[in-house]
Amino acid sequence: MIDELVAILEGKNVEWEIYWEMGRGGSFKIEREKVERSQRKFYSGVGLRIGYRGRLGFSYITGLNHDRKTLEDFVEKTINLARVSEVPFVGFPEPGKPAAVENLYDRRIKEMPFEEAYSLASDFARLMAELKGASTLSGSLAFGVNTYGLVNSNGVELEGRSTGMSASVYAVLGTGTGSYYQSYRSLQPLEELEKGIREALRDAEMSARAKPIDGHFGEVLLEPDAFQAVLSIFLENVFGDSIYFRRSRFSSPGETVGSECLTILDDATLPAGSGSYPFDGEGVPGKRTVLIEDGVLKSFLLDFTYASFLGMESTGNAVRDFRTKPHIGTSNLLVEPGKESLEDFEGIVVKDVFGEHTANPVSGDFSLTVGLGYVVKNGEIRPFRDNMLSGNVFELLRSVSAVGKRPLRRGSFVSPRVLTSARIV
């Protein structure tokens, strides 16, 4: 069908891009240590972008088996949308060599029968029941397979495939809660899932004992979950569309935005990375982009369109599915490990926070609720929660005094512990 759609488009006096995908997913919902729901989903479709006289039109169609008349109507509809569109069109990318990214596809997930997936989810639930103690556990297990491709009028012709698996756990112990989430590209054994159960149980036990602490201003150790939330406020300022529409405090790279011990990258080429890809949603090869190096802003995150507007080169950060136009996003976000251990740190430790969507990314001011933190003193750990972590993200990044040696991965975010200065209220 794609070949026939290409033939129709080649007869039109327009520029065009076809993004197609097909896949399936299976998910299992666990409630009170029992598999309560299972679901299978199949999807396929085509997203079509057309450039006409400097304007861009987009529409999509579900399924990959359509007759010629349906495809012709699909093309005409998208051309008509381009004619009346107010979205500017700057062209589509030229062909480039996709990145060679290893371990994004596991045949075991592709070939796994639904019954085997259900059996693994049942084993996951039974393990929850064995380990739960006084807690109540829920969670989920999900699997996915995806094949996708892109063709455009400039000669780009690409195809890729990927698999995925994810696991989540949510623990409740009295008034305490703990949670865990992780994603993978390959099939994981039950032993790996057990780690998530134990972490959620540990956090629930801590949360049940936690009480707010008195105010504090000074050194605060942010664990990766907390640092990811704070860093997301900063990242709004390095997206190409934010630069172009002046929603960012930056206009060009080169400014000092963090301490000398802070280096942050966006890397679509990370082997087995949850956010990795050989090419982005516009066909630009996946890249390893240094965003901050030794505290200095080195690059923005760009798709082809906003890179063109800004006179820059795309960093390969257009993300999408067939139902949506490309938009700028991260791939794998990596905080480079430092030289400090930070495992024996004594003082205020913040494990996770929430509410980052309420922060002002341009001013950088934030006030986030602490979901769980610890006060470590003389080897003893006293948990706390419901305080606020307050400050300014730009000041916080410049105040980083140490970055830990041991990175931890949460989905597509990888970071060690980070020692900085902040306020607890």
Which H, E and C letters describe 213-277, residue by residue? CCCEEEEEEECHHHHHHHHHHHHHHHEHHHHHCCCCCCCCCCCECCCCCCCEEEECCCCCCCCCC
Instruction: Return d(Cα 160, Cα 218) in angstroms, integer.
Output: 48
Q: What are phi and psi of 108, to 5 degrees?
A: -60, -35
Handedness of CA 7, 12, 18, 22 (dihedral sign): negative
CA angle in degrees (0–180, nearest 5) for 248-285-317:
20
**Contact call for residues 282 and 92 (beta carbons, < 8 A):** yes
**Contact call for residues 332 and 224 (beta carbons, < 8 A):** no
Taken as a whole, the chain contains a residue count of 425
Provide the token pair at 212.
């707010």
Indicate left, alpha or beta for 2 from its phi (over 0: left) and psi (-120 to 50: alpha).
alpha
Residue 425 pLDDT: 96
Nearest by Cα to 173 from 127, 223, 210, 226: 210
CB atoms within 10 A of CB 328: 23
Domains located in the chain, CATH noted: 2-205 (3.30.2290.10), 210-425 (no CATH)
Instruction: Return d(Cα 293, Cα 94) in angstroms, integer.
Output: 29
Indicate the angle between helix axes 68-84 and 2-10, nearest 10 degrees. 50
Can you list the residues of the chain whose pLDDT is less than 50? none
**Contact call for residues 314 and 301 (beta carbons, < 8 A):** no
Question: pLDDT tens across 218-250, in order?
Answer: 999 999 999 999 999 999 999 999 999 999 999
Strand partners, 49: 17, 58
- The single-letter code of the amino acid at 409 is R
Q: What is the CA 281 to chain-centroid distance, rounded? A: 15
pTM: predicted TM-score of the whole model, two decimal places: 0.94
Instruction: Return d(Cα 315, Cα 312) in angstroms, integer.
Output: 9
Instruction: Return d(Cα 231, Cα 403) in angstroms, integer.
Output: 14
Nearest by Cα to 293 from 261, 334, 338, 339: 261
| H or E element, residue 107 | helix 107-111
All residues at 6 or more sequence positions from 368 whose CB lies less than 8 Å from its CB, including other chains: 229, 230, 353, 354, 355, 356, 359, 388, 389, 390
| DSSP character at residue 285 | B
**3-class DSSP assignment, residue 156:** coil
**Contact call for residues 277 and 331 (beta carbons, < 8 A):** yes
Residue 300 pLDDT: 98
**Contact call for residues 213 and 384 (beta carbons, < 8 A):** yes
Instruction: Return d(Cα 167, Cα 140) in angstroms, integer.
Output: 6
Strand partners, 402: 419
Residue 357 pLDDT: 86
Q: What are phi and psi of 144, to 5 degrees?
A: -150, 150
Residue 70 pLDDT: 97
Instruction: Return d(Cα 20, Cα 155) in angstroms, integer.
Output: 16
Residue 172 pLDDT: 98
